[in-house]
Structure 1
Amino acid sequence: MKIVRLLILLLFYSSSAYATEVQERVLANGLKVLVKQEHRSPVVVSQIWYKVGSSYEPSGITGISHMLEHMMFKGTDSHPAGEFSEIVAENGGRENAFTGRDYTAYFQTLEKSRLAISFELEADRMQHLHLLAEELDKELQVVMEERRMRTEDNPRAKLQEYLMAMAYSSSPYRNPVIGWPSDIENYKVDDLQQWYQQWYTPNNATLIVAGDVQAEEVFKLAEQYFGAIPKREIKTLKPQTEMAQVGVRRMTVKLPAKVPYILMAYKVPSLNTVGDEWEAYALDVLAAVLDGGNSARLPARLQRGQQIASSVGAGYDLGGRLEELFMFEATPVKGKTLLDMEIALKTEIRALQSKVISAQELSRVKAQVLASSVYEQDSLFYQAMKLGMAETVGLGWQKSEQYREKINQVTAEQVRLVADKYLVESQLSIAYLEPQSMSANANSGARHAH
């Protein structure tokens, strides 16, 4: 949770000079180009973000956005499979990609004079990707192994996957980004080709460049390499509103594991779905009150104080396209039960609902939230990433400029109000992990959970 929270803070904080630093141009084919000039070193980061991720996927092809991300490295007419990465490496660069619930992004870090190499390669695979059955067969094995390592063999990740599927009834956030195993096993080239044609078009993408560049030169290069790519019609997604929850949901999962573990998730709005914007920022501050460093309430009270938890955390992501979850996680110390842990967490929640936090605590938490920006200012990658994320989920890149101001405006009473409004039993889903012996059959645990 702490890592996730830090990432969100990095993505959304910006310096006061931010608005003048980012320049925008939209090409005739709809490709949005953003440039952030940063002249401290002769390096450039190039990222291209597509508005498609696991939350766009219908049943039967869950995980296909992630699968297509893998296949985007498998060659075009101009560059056979593997050559993309070789060219970047030969030019002293690094490259990779990632898929989330609401986006798929590809990036390169290069010496500034080599930016055109990145553009040429990305423009080529935006329109000329080869999707071959033999390459898909190979990559299917890679993705299944990735799923096995990250989820099947990781009891905490497995518990979170089960929890998400229970907490959400109709939201596509109930599906894992990597997809369900039966869907992964049955992808066909035609499925990937259709997904590629549907979403990989310049009017569904944002190109972001951060580094030692001149904006006008970047815009000219973008026009040169991407300008001739024809745009295609993007079908509007159907509404994906989560059904109202009317009572607590619970599950107990039995898996091979060393220690017990609890996850608690409350339905909360994101910045995209909230009625009053301040609530999303107050929820962000609330997460920091609970789990914003060693002096935050959960580690201070439940680990060091009562010594009931060996690990504990909370997290909230205000940057989702759809309704989010406010999450708690904990492992009880030996001799304490998961029920003890649940009661202790709920006691901390009730304390925040019934009594306003002090001005001193609020000030310390805000300072910690905003201090996280120090990391971001040293990273071209995160400076570009915060723009891409805000733009691609539908907030608009300008929204990240407002983060510091909005956090500073949050009052202690607003923190209490959102705790009281959203951290309620009717919106709660709880998952217990009851460890089985490490030699137990994992499949029996999976059957039990369903």
Structure 2
Amino acid sequence: MFDQLAGALDARTGLILAAFSLASMAVAVAVDGARATPRVVEFTLGNGLQVLVIPDHRAPVVTQMIWYKVGAADEPPGSSGIAHFLEHLMFKGTDAIPPGQFSKIVAKNGGEDNAFTNHDVTAYFQRVAKDRLPTVMAMEADRMANLRLSKEDVATERDVILEERRSRVDNDPSSILQEQMMAALYTKHPYGIPIIGWAHEVAALDRDDALSFYKRFYAPNNALLVVAGDVEPDEVRKLAEETFGKLPPHGGLNGRSRPPEPEHQAPLRVELEDARAGRMTVQRYYLAPSYASAAPGEAEALDLMMRIAAIGSVSRLYKRLVIEQKKAASAGGWYSDSALDTGRLAFYAIGAEKVSPAELEAAMDVVIADLREHGVTQADLDRARSAFLAEFVYANDSQSRMARHYGWRLATGMTVEEVESWPERLKKVTVGDIRDVARKYLVDKNSVTGILVPAPDKTRNGEQPPHAPSPGRS
């Protein structure tokens, strides 16, 4: 059954790739210096801006994304949160766009926009009708070089971010635990610093910090422009030359400089008691390479291993802890694979009633140990691979997902060829490969275990515990 399913998926994938191939070959020759694949066309402007075009003519809609190759892990020491802070401030305005009007202009043109910051990238995107692409591209190019900030704008937005941190982290025990686990997992590398920043450092950020970071990293030769949708590569190149192409490159860029994580010698633990916690939970993080940093074949094997072990209701962890042993109300995990320097493997379980943290952790340990010692079966591998290939096919149907997928991988150092050869690399993974990465990376000394326990609420007379959210705030 699964062989038939895999064959059908391979056939469908092949049809989609063939369709993309016919579409792109017809336009690739029209763009001088471009590199074309069956799905995309890639070229670089004279000022260093990398451009990727993903034609999709099913609807007259376009997604534009500008990816800056800088994130929270590139911040100056003592200025945590400045990358995310600047992301907010990028919507304040330029000489051409009044303060606070960027998103309103996009909306008036029938589009939508947003942005996000990660440890490795900062991205801004708009989704608009095809004929509005010139407008949003000109706006995005304008704020790449001409951001204007007043001290009042900076002070107001700093308060917004501090409130965001209070609501999303300080008032959420699970977020506090995860933040502390990351700080323990990365003792030297800046991935241990929260993207939103430590509160006391965010409170000290000012206009000079924001403009200094902006002038250092926001430049065409440190960015990737992705345009997906009802466009042709030659028209995108013309628009990009007329907008981004007029901006000068940054002569002082010298790449990212990050301290490496030293070798770990012992497992670490983080334990948190909090009256606001719902149920007891156990989490476990292991250091592991990402797709950008892994040896050939390792990331694909880790992806499949975690699919089998911890993703979904058919995973080993869920079946054993929730269905068979009934020690957990839920259980699962994931593989953080998209970072530039390193990734991590994560497992979690939410305890059932009257189950102690020690019992739940022991049950989780048995599943992880079995994975490390005995690996997976061929049937396990076939099922996981078929599911991944199906998701790959479905992702081709989403313009925005494809723009994000290519953009993230290219902004963290991968090539178009590496992105597109992923299905073939996935097919080469064997049960032996999964056993090898399990034994190599599910290592106690490279782990952090986090325990969250609901503490008794000792407040009286209706008083709230410390840091509790205000009434009515979600």
Short-chain TM bin: over 0.9
User: Cα deviation per residue 1:113-133 (whole Å; 9 max; x = unaligned)?
Assistant: 110011110011001101211
CA distance in 1, matches of 2:215, 2:50: 19
The answer (yes or no) to whether the contact 1:25–1:32 under 8 Å persists in 2 is yes
> Residue 349 of structure 2 aligns to which amino acid in structure 1?
A
* TM-score scaled by length of structure 1: 0.92
**Equivalent residue number for residue 215 of structure 1:** 233
> Residue 382 of structure 2 aligns to which amino acid in structure 1?
S
Alignment of 1:157-176 (within 5 A): 157-176=175-194
User: Cα deviation per residue 1:394-427 (whole Å; 9 max; x = unaligned)?
Assistant: 1123321021111111111111111111111111
- Please say if 1:68 is aligned against 2:56: no
**Equivalent residue number for residue 100 of structure 1:** 118
Residue 58 of structure 1 deviates from its aligned partner by 2.7
The answer (yes or no) to whether the contact 2:168–2:175 under 8 Å persists in 1 is yes
**Equivalent residue number for residue 7 of structure 2:** none
Residue 390 of structure 1 deviates from its aligned partner by 0.6
User: Cα deviation per residue 1:4-45 (whole Å; 9 max; x = unaligned)?
Assistant: xxxxxxxxx996456322101111100011101001111000
Residue 377 of structure 1 deviates from its aligned partner by 2.2
CA distance in 2, matches of 1:124, 1:357: 52
CA distance in 2, matches of 1:395, 1:131: 34
The worse-fitting range, judged by mean Cα deviation, of 311-320 and 183-192 is: 311-320
Over 3 Å off, 4+ runs: 13-18, 437-444
- Please say if 1:260 is aligned against 2:280: yes
Give the unaligned 5+ runs of structure 1.
1-12, 445-450
- Please say if 1:322 is aligned against 2:341: yes
**Equivalent residue number for residue 129 of structure 2:** 111
The worse-fitting range, judged by mean Cα deviation, of 210-219 and 320-329 is: 320-329
**Equivalent residue number for residue 392 of structure 2:** 373
The worse-fitting range, judged by mean Cα deviation, of 296-305 and 16-25 is: 16-25
User: Cα deviation per residue 1:273-294 (whole Å; 9 max; x = unaligned)?
Assistant: 22x2211111111110112322
The answer (yes or no) to whether the contact 1:262–1:331 under 8 Å persists in 2 is yes
**Equivalent residue number for residue 47 of structure 1:** 65
**Equivalent residue number for residue 6 of structure 1:** none
**Equivalent residue number for residue 28 of structure 2:** none
Of residues 446, 454, 459, the one that matches 1:435 is: 454
**Equivalent residue number for residue 269 of structure 1:** 289
The answer (yes or no) to whether the contact 1:255–1:442 under 8 Å persists in 2 is no
**Equivalent residue number for residue 420 of structure 2:** 401
The change in CA–CA distance for 1:339 and 1:138 in structure 2 (over 3 A counts) is: same
> Secondary structure of the residue that 2:454 maps to in structure 1?
strand
Alignment of 1:276-295 (within 5 A): 276-295=295-314
Alignment of 1:225-244 (within 5 A): 225-233=243-251, 234-244=253-263
**Equivalent residue number for residue 4 of structure 2:** none
Residue 250 of structure 1 deviates from its aligned partner by 1.1
> Secondary structure of the residue that 1:227 maps to in structure 2?
helix
> Secondary structure of the residue that 1:263 maps to in structure 2?
strand
> Secondary structure of the residue that 2:41 maps to in structure 1?
strand
The answer (yes or no) to whether the contact 2:74–2:258 under 8 Å persists in 1 is no
- Please say if 1:203 is aligned against 2:227: no
The answer (yes or no) to whether the contact 1:284–1:317 under 8 Å persists in 2 is no
**What is the percentage of aligned positions where both structures have the same residue?**
37
The answer (yes or no) to whether the contact 1:32–1:203 under 8 Å persists in 2 is yes
CA distance in 1, matches of 2:258, 2:146: 31
Alignment of 1:142-161 (within 5 A): 142-161=160-179
> Secondary structure of the residue that 1:378 maps to in structure 2?
coil
The worse-fitting range, judged by mean Cα deviation, of 221-230 and 346-355 is: 346-355
Alignment of 1:342-357 (within 5 A): 342-357=361-376
> Secondary structure of the residue that 1:277 maps to in structure 2?
coil
**Equivalent residue number for residue 183 of structure 1:** 201
The answer (yes or no) to whether the contact 1:53–1:100 under 8 Å persists in 2 is yes
Which structure's relative contact order is higher, taking Cα pairs within 8 Å and 6+ residues apart?
1
Residue 237 of structure 1 deviates from its aligned partner by 2.6
**Equivalent residue number for residue 420 of structure 1:** 439
* TM-score scaled by length of structure 2: 0.88
**Equivalent residue number for residue 3 of structure 1:** none
Residue 436 of structure 1 deviates from its aligned partner by 1.9
> Residue 292 of structure 1 aligns to which amino acid in structure 2?
I
CA distance in 1, matches of 2:77, 2:331: 34
The answer (yes or no) to whether the contact 2:73–2:258 under 8 Å persists in 1 is no
Residue 443 of structure 1 deviates from its aligned partner by 5.7
Give the unaligned 5+ runs of structure 2.
1-12, 21-36, 469-474
**Equivalent residue number for residue 384 of structure 1:** 403
CA distance in 1, matches of 2:236, 2:371: 49
